[in-house]
Amino acid sequence: MEKNLAEQTFLEGRPARNASMRKPLACGLFLLGVASFFSHNYVSDLVTRPWSNAPLSPEPRCPQASPLVPSKSTKELDDAWEYLNSDAFFNKSIEHLSGAVKIPTQSYDDMGEVGVDPRWDIFDSFASYLEETFPVVYKTLDVEKVNTHGLLFTWKGTEASLKPTVLMAHQDVVPVPDSTVNQWTHPPFSGHWDGKFVWGRGSSDCKNQLLGILEAVDTLVNAGFQPKRTLVLSFGFDEEISGMQGADHLAQKLIKRYGHGGAAIIVDEGAANLEGWGANWAIPGVGEKGYVDVIVTVRMPGGHSSIPPAHNGIGVAAELISLIEANPYEPLLHESNPYLSLLYCGAEHAPEFPKTLKHLLKKRAYQSTCSKKGHKDELALEAAKAGLDIKYLFTTSQAVDLISGGVKTNALPERTAFTINHRINIGSSVDVVLFHVAQLFTPVAKKHNLTLNAFNNVTETPSSITLTTRPEYLEPAPVTPTGPGTPFSILSGTTRALYGEDLFVAPGVMTGNTDTRYYWGLSEHIFRYSMGWDREQEGLGRIHTVDERIGGKAHRDVTKWVFGFVRNMDEADL
């Protein structure tokens, strides 16, 4: 998963290690890089303004749900809870996760079709391991295989009128390059347990969540629990390479089965619990940025390089690239951006929230002019000073990632191509990005007497600049509602019951995309949340890099959270 390392690092106040950003559409956690937002030194000597002493809002912007503990219980369920807190369960769950990590379910960008490419076969071994490890789950729940390796578990509820709860995770992991194997403290597929961490690829992204979910269901079944609300577990197998073989097929099946908007809530991997601004936070992702790759192809006459024109194709491409870099998008906090909600939460609850940001939040509430055309978003510009990783939580990014041109040193290039990767801000769209690129490049085309074919499905022609997109573009995700009485309150209450009332729950935003991109039609209540928390663990467990690992406490807390959440959803009146 392409985690939100930005939210991770600004909340922690320390740099994050590099993470691989390899997916065609994005990538799964959450949250992304080297910023330290909470430790940023803001100037606090503000000039008095009419809004300086005004409240942020007549009503709280960030009300907190009360801790939510299931009201219905039995002796068996109480005993099961005690078991989840025991050393016996802890040791057993660590053993299970270690065994799962030992199975190298790597997914590669060039994977062929399922059933054709033999590299998919390892997922048969993983499925067998799960069945051997959780026989009671397999006996009690309906288990289906979707497109061979997608795993769909259904625990039918007694009340068919209640929309189901859907819990997600993915079976695949990012490949471990051979060149890095010797850099690992413990071998990447050893599942080594050192008494504090389980080490290995997939330990924190996200076999820990998959195993934790199954551990919780196994415990509920053994305690005699029978859900009223149907519970669905949906485990894809190619999230790290965009999910088209796994999550796409699983989502289609579920939408066909339950209908559009047929699920009460969906929880997938995502953001973790963090510390910052002098407070503890859970920041489930309620939105994801969009994605589009623009391919720019410059066609110009060739010839011998000993008689070059003033400008050749590579030179014009360089001019276009310089234009892109000289015209970045400005930070803009759209009213629907979850990061704005997080700022309001920080202003209300965090003792170390920066004074300058609180001042600008008041000004925004007082003037209500930030979204007007021609007005710079002062709040976004100030918040962006914390670093690039924070800035791009509310700014469309553009980066030239691929380029090719020329075939020989003494031949002028006839075709030069480069790709611009965009991650689209919440509140913007793919069309806005395409218009921006076409508008920037029009003067260059005229200057060099080239035809501009801008996203019009025209085949490349001589003496032209042609703009196209890759087919895997994605609009920003719909933002999940977080008001009172929504499933967000169940998630929040469950989280605060487990971790205490000194932990605040606030909406988060994902700069990348998880498997949930395929589930938009199934529910509007989608959350990307990694619910395990080990305060001794550094960052997000070094996902996608050397020495990936997960704290044992964080892994156990996944199971405890799911154990409570499933029961809370069963009792919820939504």
* Residues with catalytic function: 172, 239
**Residue 561 φ/ψ, nearest 5 degrees:** -65, -50
Residue 170 in marked binding region: yes
Say how far apart CA 348 and CA 506 lie, in whole Å.
11
Residue 311 in marked binding region: no
By DSSP bridging, strand 273-276 and strand 279-282 are: antiparallel
CA dihedral defined by 70, 74, 75, 76, rounded to 10 degrees? -90
Q: Which two tokens stand for residue 508?
A: 């988060």
Nearest partner of 338 among 181, 506, 493, judged by Cα: 506
What is the three-class DSSP state of 76? helix
Residue 109 in marked binding region: no
DSSP 208-227: HHHHHHHHHHHHHHHTT---
Count CA atoms within 13 Å of residue 224 on its CB side. 8
Please enumerate in sequence order all residues whose Cβ is within 8 A of that of 309, keeping only pairs 6 or more positions apart, or say none.
301, 303, 412
Residue 389 in marked binding region: no
Please enumerate in sequence order all residues whose Cβ is within 8 A of that of 118, keeping only pairs 6 or more positions apart, or say none.
none
Please enumerate in sequence order all residues whose Cβ is within 8 A of that of 487, keeping only pairs 6 or more positions apart, or say none.
264, 265, 525, 527, 569, 572, 574
Q: Which two tokens stand for residue 371?
A: 């979204």
Say how far apart CA 545 and CA 33 lie, in whole Å.
13
- Are 176 and 519 in contact by the 8 Å Cβ rule? The answer is no
Q: Residues, the chain, total? A: 574
Say how far apart CA 476 and CA 431 lie, in whole Å.
12
- Are 270 and 510 in contact by the 8 Å Cβ rule? The answer is yes
Q: Which residues pair with 421 in a beta bridge?
A: 293, 399
Say how far apart CA 392 and CA 328 lie, in whole Å.
11
Residue 268 in marked binding region: yes
Cβ burial of 380 (10 Å; 0-12, 13-18, 19+) is buried
H helices present in 327-429, as ranges: 338-349, 355-367, 378-383, 388-391
Binding-site residue ranges for Zn(2+):
170, 205, 240, 268, 544
Binding-site residue ranges:
170, 205, 240, 268, 544
